[in-house]
Structures are given as C-alpha cells and as structure tokens.
Amino acid sequence: MTVASVRGLNPDFSDPALHAEGQYIGGRWLPGGGIPVVDPSTGAILAEVPDASVEQGLAAVDAAHAAAASWRATPARQRSEILRRWFDLMKEHAEELAVLISRENGKALADARGEVAYAAEFFRWYAEEATRIPGEFRTAPSGAQRILVDHEPIGIALLITPWNFPAAMATRKIGPALAAGCTVILKPASETPLTAFAMARLGEEAGVPPGVVNVLTTTRPGPVVSAILADPRVRKLSFTGSTPVGRGLLAEAAKSVVSCSMELGGNAPFLVFDDADLDAALDGAMVAKMRNAGEACTAANRFYVQDGIHDAFVEGLTRRMAALKVGPGTDPATQCGPMITRKAVQKIDRLVSDAVAQGARVRTGGVTLGGDGFFYPPTVLDHVPRDAEIAREEIFGPVAAIYRVADEAEAIQLANATEYGLAAYVYTSDLARALRVGRSLESGMVALNRGLMSDPAAPFGGVKESGLGREGGTTGILEFMEAKYYALEF
C-alpha cells in the first residue's frame, strides 16, 4: 500500500498506515476519482475518491462470493482473532482516525475520539461473540422428535452507512457480519468515505483475507445498490440512514426477498419531570442534544419539561448552550463543529425560522453563522408550538426545542405523537415512574436519567418507522445468520 494515495488527501493527515487508494475490491485498491470530499469547517476539498460503476458494484459481489466459502469455513476462533487485531489497530491509530473523522465530518475532536473508541469496541465485542454463536436442542412438546437449531452465516451482506458516524456505523455492521462468517460490501456515505477506506486499510493489516471486506463509493447509489441487491448471491442488506431512503431500499430488497436490517431516522423525546435532579437533567440534555453537534439519530429532538421545573431547565440549558465554543472540528478548543453540508444548515435554519414565525422564543443562537464553513450556533427555543415542523422532523443540528407539559400523561402522549420510535430519555427521581413511563414510550431504547445509551453490548434499534432489527448486543450477530432447524428422529 502506498502512502498519500487517497487522491489529494491533505498532508495534515500523516499516518501512512491509514492511507488507501481507491475502491477496495477483492483485496485490491483500484484508483480513480470523481467524488470530492469536502471539509465542512472550510468548504475546501480535502480529497477525491473513486466513483464506482454498476460493473464495479457487481465485481465487489464477485469478490465477496469468491471469499465466502473459505471465510465461512474459517474457525470462529480465527475470525475472532482477526477482529481482535482490527480492534487493537484501531486503538493504536485512534488519534489519526479521530483527526480524519473530524476533518471529513466536521465533528469536534472530542466527539471524534469518542466515536473511534465506540467504533473499535464493536470489533472487540464481536471478536468475543464470534466464539459464542448460540444453538438450541429440545424435545418437541409432543415427544415425537428432537429439535436441533443451528445458525449459519446468511451469505453476502451489503452494508450501507451514513456520514454522521463514519467509523462506528461501519464497525457496528462489519463486526457482527464477519463474526457470523459473512463476507461484505460496504458502501459508505459519499460525504465521509475516507474513514471507511482507512478502516479497510487497517482490516487488511489485521489479516482480513481479500474479498471478505470490500468498500466502494459511488455517486449513483440507486443503480449500483439495485444491481447488487438483484444478484441472487447477496442475501442481506444492513442499512443505516434516513427513513425515506430506507423505505425505498426495503422495496428494492423485496424484489429478491433479501433479509433487511434497517436503522433509520429518529425524533427522540427528552422528558423531564418535576421530581428530576435539575443538574443531572441538564448534564444529560447537553449530551443527548450536543453529541456530534446534534447530528445523531438518537439526538434529543423534543424536550418535554414539566411545569414546576420548566423555567429553571430553560435557564440552565440556555446558559450551557450559549457557553459552547463553535469552531472547526480539529481545533481542540471546539465543542460544536460545523454541520455536514450547507444544505444541512439551510434545513436547520428553515425549521428554526418556521418555529419562530409560529411563536417560539429564541433564548440563544437562532441565526446562521456566515463564512465558508457550514456552521450553525447552539440554539435554545422555548414556547415552541407543539405542531411546528421542528417537532415532526429530525433537526439534526444543535437546536434544543423545549415544550412545557402539565403532567406525565401529556408528556407520554406528546412523546409518542410521531412516526419515529428510536430513542427516548426520561429524567425523574422516582423509579416506579421511570419504569411506568418507559413502558408507555413507543421507542426501541429508553435512557433513564442518562444522556447516552449507545453501547456495543446493548441492542440498538428502533420501532415504528425508525427501523427493523437490532445492532450490537448478543442478538446483533443473529441479523447476519439464518436459523436452520433439523428434525431428529430418535
């Protein structure tokens, strides 16, 4: 592997072990260009990566197929050790990976470092899970037979990831897929492909055999992905991204009845009751809102705060948000980096302007920052009308919209008034209330008195239009396996 070979990659990014060249198919790096990667802090082009054709997409399927039989037959212990080495290499190159993520995604270095640590843990977790794939043996209730259940790798998996966690969304899929014995094709988001290529480079060094992991970037995801899904050798689609794109991909996958795992959009409610510890709720709110500058599917989107604590919560959150330092992601002092694109800033601005036009009050922020980078300031709104667009859409930015509620019933009713159901947060000092509210919330995950829920050892995923299936935890590996039942006569 040559150094400095992602075309035009800025020399600030100095670790040769992470440099990669072009598409990664069948263990070969195929040079090319066509997709500019932009630094959201400056608007400057950082690098250019290749633009895969449909033919290259199908070549990736060929490569994954050629490697499939031997990877499936590789003992679990050996697959585990490769994943473990990949984890070790990510830790070894953590700082360089964090800088790369920060440069192409814009997130503050502290967030990028957190992401690398989180991402690497999926490899460690699935290195461990690879050796513990469950099976089952029972006697049928009728006594007529014995039931043996084995789990087999599902086959070639297509993994599609978004730009907001360029490392973690990839490892959350690659880890369980490889542990299960599947070979994969990863299509990262066009905005943040450099992290994916750097990760593949480390995978190569960790001993991942050629063809087991293939990575391609394209400006034509529709046709390339359709062609891959239409190939009967591909048996799994694992997608993380927006609900509209996920819906389209489910329809596409239906044509060849491909198994789908879908991690889609969110509209997380953050409930604060009068009996909550105010400081703890504010600490949690800052994490739930401002991790990744609000560009997270789990980001608190709607703050429902009970009457008695409402004013103190608004004051406290406003003070904390106003004190955050906005700047380029790679500046160590930065706490809130830029948004991913100018279009993202325009969307946030539209949602805030609409809320304000309908009566919301701006407590801090609320005005787009100029300049070449894609910045939006930390913003707090109160008196937000409950039916404003900002209550229905993912904000995906550093804006906290606060709504006053009278009681538990009203908070629950408003929290559930969305087609999404990914994450929810509850702050109360009453355990019985916490569990009662948690049971009433229509979401796949509930954080009780915590602002962060993501954990490689826990099942991550949503209900309603936030998705299908779970990633991480002990069940994440089963998303890449098929149960095979043997009926035994003895």
Instruction: Give yes or no for a contact between 21 and 6, defined as CB atoms under 8 angstroms apart.
Output: yes
- Contact track, ligand NAP, 444-463, x by CB under 6 A: ------------------x-
- In degrees, rounded to 5, the angle at the alpha carbon of residue 66 between the alpha carbons of residues 64 and 69 is 95
C-alpha span between 304 and 314 (Å, rounded): 11
Q: Which amino acid belongs to residue 199?
A: M
Residue nearest to ligand NAP (CB): 241
Nearer to ligand NAP, 237 or 305 (CB): 237
Instruction: Give yes or no for a contact between 327 and 431, defined as CB atoms under 8 angstroms apart.
Output: no
Check residue 209 and report its DSSP letter. Answer: P
465 binds ligand NAP (CB under 6 A): no
Nearer to ligand NAP, 204 or 263 (CB): 263
162 binds ligand NAP (CB under 6 A): yes
C-alpha span between 95 and 454 (Å, rounded): 21
Count of residues that bind ligand NAP according to CB under 6 A: 28
**Least Cβ distance, residue 467 to ligand NAP (angstroms):** 6
297 binds ligand NAP (CB under 6 A): yes
161 binds ligand NAP (CB under 6 A): yes
Q: Read off the tokens for 229.
A: 């899904």
- In degrees, rounded to 5, the angle at the alpha carbon of residue 63 between the alpha carbons of residues 61 and 66 is 110
Q: Read off the tokens for 470.
A: 């779970």
Q: Choose among 261, 251, 253, 262: nearest CA to 227.
A: 253
263 binds ligand NAP (CB under 6 A): yes
394 binds ligand NAP (CB under 6 A): yes
- CA quadruple 460, 177, 169, 351: dihedral sign: negative
Only one of the segments 116-124, 235-243, 364-372, 480-488 lies at the binding site for ligand NAP (rule: CB under 6 A); that segment is 235-243
Q: Considering only residues 188 through 227, tell me which ones interact with ligand NAP, judged by CB under 6 A.
A: 189-190, 221-222, 225
**Exposed / middle / buried, residue 112 (Cβ in 10 Å: 0-12, 13-18, 19+):** buried
Nearer to ligand NAP, 103 or 187 (CB): 187
Nearer to ligand NAP, 183 or 243 (CB): 243
Nearer to ligand NAP, 106 or 221 (CB): 221
Beta bridge partner(s), residue 160:
187, 239
297 included as an active-site residue: yes
C-alpha span between 429 and 431 (Å, rounded): 6
C-alpha span between 466 and 224 (Å, rounded): 24
Only one of the segments 57-65, 159-167, 200-208, 433-441 lies at the binding site for ligand NAP (rule: CB under 6 A); that segment is 159-167
176 binds ligand NAP (CB under 6 A): no
121 binds ligand NAP (CB under 6 A): no
160 binds ligand NAP (CB under 6 A): yes
Nearer to ligand NAP, 245 or 281 (CB): 245
Q: How many CA atoms lie within 13 A of 463 on its CB side?
A: 11
Which positions are catalytic?
263, 297
Binding interface with ligand NAP (CB under 6 A): 160-165, 169, 187, 189-190, 221-222, 225, 240-242, 245, 248-249, 263-266, 297, 394, 422, 462, 467
